[in-house]
Structure 1
C-alpha cells in the first residue's frame, strides 16, 4: 500500500504540495538571509566587540524597512521628488520583497519542472542581490556612466534569464531536482572570495588570473594547458578594459611594485 500511494493522484498531489512548501520555505529563508547574517554578526558583537549596530537596532531597522519601504517609494515617486531610500529600505525593495512574492507563488503554483523552476529562482535571487549590493555605486541610478553600470546590466540580464527559466519550469514538463554537486559552486565561490580579498594588495593581473584558475578547479574535465592560455588572455583583456577603457581606478600590479 505504501509503495503504490505515490502513484495515485492524491499521493502525487500531496507530494507536490509538500515539495512546494519546502521550496517556499527555502526561498523565504533566502529572502531574509542578509538580515539574518547581520543579526548574527550583531549577536557575536555581544561577545567580541565589533563595530556596527546591536541586535535590537538590527531588528528595529529591518522590520521598519519592510513595512515602510514600499509606501515611502510610492510616496516619493508620486510626489515627483528624487527617490532616496536608506540601505535597509533598498534591501527590502530590491531583494527581500521580490523573493517574498516568489515564495508565495511557489507555495501556490503547480510546478511542472522543479529543476528548471528552482534553478531560475536561484538565478533571480543572485541577480537581485547583486542589484542591491551595487545600488550605491555611481551609474546604478539614471544613465550616468560609472562603476555601477556593469553590475546593473549583468544583474538585469541575469534577472531576465532567471525569470525565463523559472517560467519554463511552470508551463512545461521537465525533470525533477537532480542530486546537487558542491564542487563547482564551492570553487567558484572561493574564486570570487579570492578576487575580493586580493584585488587591492595584489592588483588586477594577479588577482584575476588566480581567481580564474581557482574557478577552473570546479571541474574534473579541466585541461590546464588550455585553461592557462584562456586565463592569461582574459586577464590581459580585463587589464585593458577596466582601467583604460572604462576608467575604473583598479590597481594592475601589487602595491610593493608601485614606486
Structure 2
C-alpha cells in the first residue's frame, strides 16, 4: 500500500510539472496576448487580441505541423508564429509529455534544467531572423546560435542529472520579486513615450523595489534618483539615442 501511495504521489507531482511545462511552452504567446490588450485602450500599436489568438492558434495547430511534414514547398519563408512554435513551443511540449513517464529523482535539477532550456530556445527563436543563424555563414546571429545551442546542451545535461541522481525536492518559489520586476519592465515600455525617460526610469525602479520585503524606501529613492540621472546622461548624450526626457504635457 505504501508503494501504491508513493507511486500515486509521484504521478501527481509529474502531472503538475507537465502542466507547468505546457504553460511555459505557450508563455510567449500568452505574454503577447496580454500586451495586445493595451491596444484596445490605445496604449500601444500592433495587433489586437483577436488577431494574436488567431495567428498563434493557427501556427500551433496547423502551420507548425505542416512545416514539420513538409507541406511548405519551395523554401517558403515561415512566419514568426510558426518559427516560435517549432523552435520553442513544440520542444517544451515534448518535454512535458516525457515528464509524465519519467521518475524524477531531483526535481530541483530537473525543473531548473528545463527552464534554462526554455530560455535558450527562446533566444534561438528571437535571433532566428539574424544573418548567420543558418548554415555556415557568419553574421550577427552566429554568436546567439552558438551560445543558445550550448545552453540547450548544458541545460539538457542538468535536467538529465535530475533523472539519474538523488537530489533536493522543488523548493518553494516566491513570485513577488519576478512579478514586480516584470511589472516595472512593462511600465517602462508603456510609459517611456508619454512620460519621458526621467519619470519612467525612476518610477520603474521604485516598482521593482517593491518586489522585496527588505526594501528601505529612503535608500531606494536615493539609488533610483542616481540611476535615473545616469540614464538621463548615458542614453541621450553619450549613446545619442533619441529618447524623450520629460512628459509630453511639460514639453508641449
TM-score, normalising length from structure 1?
Answer: 0.65
RMSD of aligned Cα (Å): 4.6
Cα gap change, 1:131 to 1:240, in 2 (>3 Å): farther
Note closer, same or farther for the CA distance 1:55–1:162 as it changes in structure 2 (3 Å cut).
Answer: closer
Q: Give a deviation string over 1:51-76, Cα, whole Å, max 9, x none.
A: 85397766444322221334569988
Q: Could you list the runs of 5+ residues in structure 2 that have no partner in the other structure?
A: 37-47
Matched, 1:198 2:196: no
Match of 1:28?
Answer: 22
- Which of 2, 13, 25 is the matching residue for 2:7? 13
| CA distance 1:35–1:22, shift in 2 (3 Å) | same
Distance 1:165 1:228, change over 3 A: farther
What is the rounded CA distance, in whole Å, between the counterparts of 2:25 and 2:126 in structure 1? 14
CA distance in 2, matches of 1:201, 1:33: 28
Distance 1:169 1:61, change over 3 A: closer
Counterpart CA distance in 1 for 2:202 and 2:148 is 23
**Contact 2:64–2:83 (Cα < 8 Å) also in 1:** no
Aligned to 2:210: 217
The structural deviation recorded for 1:175 is 2.5
- Of the three residues 61, 64, 67, the one matched with 2:65 is 67
Q: Unaligned regions of 5+ residues in structure 1, if any? A: 43-49
Q: What is the match of residue 106 of structure 1?
A: 99
Q: CA deviation at 1:86?
A: 0.8
Contact 2:109 2:159 in 1 (8 A): yes
- 1:201–1:186 distance in 2 versus 1, CA, 3 Å: same
